[in-house]
Structure 1
């Protein structure tokens, strides 16, 4: 696979994560996370969550809850380091922005998530990447 195709596949996996979030699709969210590797998640304002069952329970609580936020992924950038892919992007939730790091591993099924972290961020208009800017 070429570097450009690999990066496109990684960005597609990242977009799929945000589609699952936006559509509150618990099944799709579960399919995105690795099941043979340790996984972690740091939701804003929550303590660290470790282990597939706990991480997926946290997503179920967020997606099925009455206050599940509308979310949009903006300015995603991807870098690949061997069989590890890192996507960073802004998350727009209402008028607020978060900055997220999503870490994936390459598997036979494509890119699977092993870590998600998001936290407060400045307005992304202060950090709009050039069209061809890459992490690596």
Structure 2
């Protein structure tokens, strides 16, 4: 069945939203082949997990997700998506709701992530995923926060 999953993810050509949905579905199933089918084959793709180093290239990204999947699937659901899109690129900023099972029961964390997609000959593919360190509660003012950068 992994071949069918990979083919369905690879056949995505509709929108960046379709690729994003396939990415989060693959995370929830712990399906490394489907997850990697969402990524561009470009050597310069990168991924930053919360508190982690920058991973460059599909080999490094695959290895990191394989290590994460060794502990089980990642139950992450995107919400509050903000988008900037053009004809050949899309940037999605999402609030990821992460569910972690502990001996005390299910716990939730919230992570802000930015996913960048490019339209390639194979369809829309992820070229960057950057996730912030998590918090125990979702920010109430996520859409209205204005901060000054120095």
- Structure index of larger Rg: 2
Distance of 2:130 and 2:123 partners within structure 1: 21
Distance of 1:125 and 1:14 partners within structure 2: 24
Name the counterpart of 1:110. 123
- 1:18 is displaced (CA, Å) by 0.7
Q: Is the 8 A contact 1:17 1:29 kept in 2?
A: yes
Aligned ranges 1:26-105 → 2 under 5 Å: 26-63=32-69, 65-66=70-71, 68-94=73-99, 95-105=108-118
RMSD: 2.1
Unpaired runs of at least 5, structure 1:
1-7, 130-136
The alignment of Structure 1 onto Structure 2 pairs a total of residues equal to 121
Deviation above 4 Å: which 4+ runs of structure 1?
none
- 1:128 is displaced (CA, Å) by 5.5
- 1:126 is displaced (CA, Å) by 2.7
Unpaired runs of at least 5, structure 2:
1-13, 100-107, 145-150
Which one is further off, 11-20 or 97-106?
11-20
